[in-house]
């Protein structure tokens, strides 16, 4: 009996599951991102040096979905495709399930990007099924047709509120050349009520996809313009934030050197750079 087992016995705790031994194979690092049911951490296989990501699922938060989690791991173990994260192994403790996935650095550093595709029922924690994938297809379709995502709040709480309300807007400037059938298809997929979303087969038979009323309009130029505009906007924000940090550091340094009166008040808007849009 090991020291951990002795402690568990003394505290009347359940022993760790057998698979927990596999945790020793990995050196767990920083958290890459968090989600509804847990987090993703970077890790290294101590014997091979292989970089991996470990998805940690809290059992208490996914108690009603345990069977689904197990089935999902079985499916992932049988997948082998360059565009799908590779599933390597899993282990569990008394309160967590850890899934070892992907060696792709790009995926590891952008794992939280999937946040924008999450369906309302996941945020509400009301349980979910295949309908969440239909929602994600709706988000992807919207983005491909206009160049930006439908829900764009920067604050997490505001973003979740936007998603759960599911109020989808088609701004005329970017959507004027997109057919009503396409918009209708998106609205059907982005229905906040999962029971009212179409199945994958039903979606494939939507008139927008069957081409019954297809119009010969090239949307590529407009979409590319929107993507580039958002990229430049993001670069401008990054530049302003960097400049503000520099000014803030300069201000702190000046205050230390001059030892001025601490009660001197300086308005924040006179010392910061703001981006007007």
Q: What is the topology classification, in CATH, of domain 3-113? A: Phosphorylase Kinase; domain 1 (3.30.200)
Per-residue pLDDT tens over the stretch 162-194 = 999 999 999 988 898 889 999 999 999 999 999
Look at 31 and 168; give whichever has higher pLDDT.
168
| pLDDT over 50 at 277, yes or no | no
In the chain, which residues fall in CATH 3.30.200.20?
3-113
pLDDT of residue 67: 74
Tokens of 105: 């650095």
In the chain, which residues fall in CATH 1.10.510.10?
118-217
| pLDDT over 60 at 241, yes or no | no
pLDDT band, very low/low/confident/very high, at 213 (cuts 50, 70, 90): low
Question: Would you give the distance in Å from CA 155 to the centre of its chain?
Answer: 14
One-character DSSP codes across 175-188: HTTS-HHHHHHHHH
pLDDT of residue 39: 80
d(CA 191, CA 267): 46
d(CA 121, CA 127): 7
Burial label, 98 (beta-carbon count in 10 A; 0-12, 13-18, 19+): buried
Per-residue pLDDT tens over the stretch 85-113 = 788 888 777 655 454 555 444 444 333 33
d(CA 249, CA 216): 55
Indicate the SS3 state at residue 237: helix
Per-residue pLDDT tens over the stretch 102-141 = 544 444 433 333 567 888 988 887 777 788 889 989 998 9
Question: pTM (2 decimals)?
Answer: 0.46
| pLDDT over 70 at 225, yes or no | no
Q: What is the topology classification, in CATH, of domain 118-217? A: Transferase(Phosphotransferase); domain 1 (1.10.510)
Burial label, 43 (beta-carbon count in 10 A; 0-12, 13-18, 19+): buried
Nearest to 54 by CA among 39, 68, 34, 74: 39
Is 59 annotated for ligand binding? Answer: yes
């Amino acid at each position: 009996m090991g020291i951990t087992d002795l402690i568990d016995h003394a505290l009347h705790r359940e022993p760790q599951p057998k698979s927990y031994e596999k945790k020793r194979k990995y050196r767990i690092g920083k958290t890459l991102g968090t989600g509804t049911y847990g987090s993703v951490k970077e890790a290294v296989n101590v014997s091979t040096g292989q970089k991996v990501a470990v998805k940690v699922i809290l059992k208490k938060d996914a108690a009603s979905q345990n069977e689904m989690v197990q089935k999902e791991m079985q499916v992932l173990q049988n997948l082998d495709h360059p565009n799908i994260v590779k599933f390597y192994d899993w282990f569990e403790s008394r309160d967590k399930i850890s899934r070892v996935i992907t060696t792709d650095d790009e995926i590891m550093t952008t794992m939280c990007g999937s946040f924008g595709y999450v369906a309302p029922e996941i945020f509400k924690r009301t349980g979910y099924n295949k309908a969440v994938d239909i929602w994600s297809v709706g988000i992807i379709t919207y983005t491909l047709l206009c160049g930006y995502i439908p829900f764009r709040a920067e604050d997490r709480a505001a973003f979740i509120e936007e998603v759960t309300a599911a109020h989808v807007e088609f701004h005329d400037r970017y959507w004027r050349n997109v057919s009503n059938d396409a918009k209708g298809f998106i609205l059907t997929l982005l229905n906040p009520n999962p029971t009212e979303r179409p199945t994958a087969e039903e979606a494939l038979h939507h008139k927008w996809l069957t081409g019954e009323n297809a119009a010969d309009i090239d949307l590529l130029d407009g979409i590319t313009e929107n993507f580039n505009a958002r990229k430049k906007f993001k670069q401008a924000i990054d530049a302003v934030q960097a400049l503000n940090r520099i000014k803030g550091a300069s201000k702190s340094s000046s205050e230390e050197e001059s030892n001025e009166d601490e009660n001197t008040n300086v308005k924040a808007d006179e010392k910061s750079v703001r981006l007007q849009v």
